[in-house]
Amino acid sequence: MKNFCVILFHDFETLDVFGPVEVMGKLNQHYRIEFYSEHGGLVTSSQNVKVQTLPITELNGLNELDVLLIPGGIGTRSEVNNQAFIQILKQISNRAQFVLTVCTGAALLARTGLLKNRKATTNKMAFDWVANLDQEVQWIRKARWVADGKYYTSSGVSAGIDMTLGFIGDIIGMEAAERISTGIEYIWNKDRNDDPFC
């Protein structure tokens, strides 16, 4: 059983998290989904969803760290300046087999320095803010999502669903991704370069 570890913080964006979680949840024979935050306990999204989490330090106890999901949201505006949190994020991102970000989750990952010289994207409305956090990242404005090695970054909110299906397509196969999108009656935009919001 692999782990799919979702990192939450106060004022995360609801669908950034639960679109990918819905999709990955269909692989529950392969992945166990758990939620973490800096201090554990209840963490509240911008849409007033209170989610129970484990302390992020518990990730240090895992031998294998398979997939990390870092969502965006208005909370990233303060978390980019939370050096303790960014430091832990860097450690666990280094250990993870794959790191996925949605929307301004890319801002947090950029702050770790791990995106330097890699291709990445983020959402439209906050693009310039995120891109200025690290100008050594090859920021791509027109993309539904971007994969560069183990790092998957997506555009805003709903693009995280398309990216996660694309991720499953890459690591398991297109048939599995298609079956999941049909099962949840989701009209999958499967072309990562087809970005109608650019």
- Total residues interacting with a copy of itself, rule: CB under 8 A: 41
**In terms of Cα–Cα distance, which of 162, 38, 169, 35 is closest to 103?**
162
Subset of residues 80 to 139 that bind a copy of itself, contact rule: CB under 8 A: 123-125
Question: Furthest-apart CA pair in the chain: how many Å?
Answer: 42
Q: What is the closest distance, in whole angstroms, from the C-beta atom of residue 117 to a copy of itself in the complex? A: 26
> How many CB atoms within 10 Å of residue 149?
9
CB nearer to a copy of itself: pick between 86 and 120: 120
SS3 label, residue 71: coil
Written as six digits, the tokens of 53 are: 């989490």
Under rule CB under 8 A, which residues in 4-43 are in contact with a copy of itself?
A: 13-15, 17-19, 21-22, 24-25, 28, 32-35, 42
**Whole-number Å distance between alpha carbons of 56 and 61:** 10
- Distance between CA atoms of residues 145 and 191, nearest Å: 9
Nearer to a copy of itself, 3 or 91 (CB): 3
Residues contributing to the site for a copy of itself (CB under 8 A): 13-15, 17-19, 21-22, 24-25, 28, 32-35, 42, 46-52, 123-125, 155-159, 161, 182-187, 189, 196-197
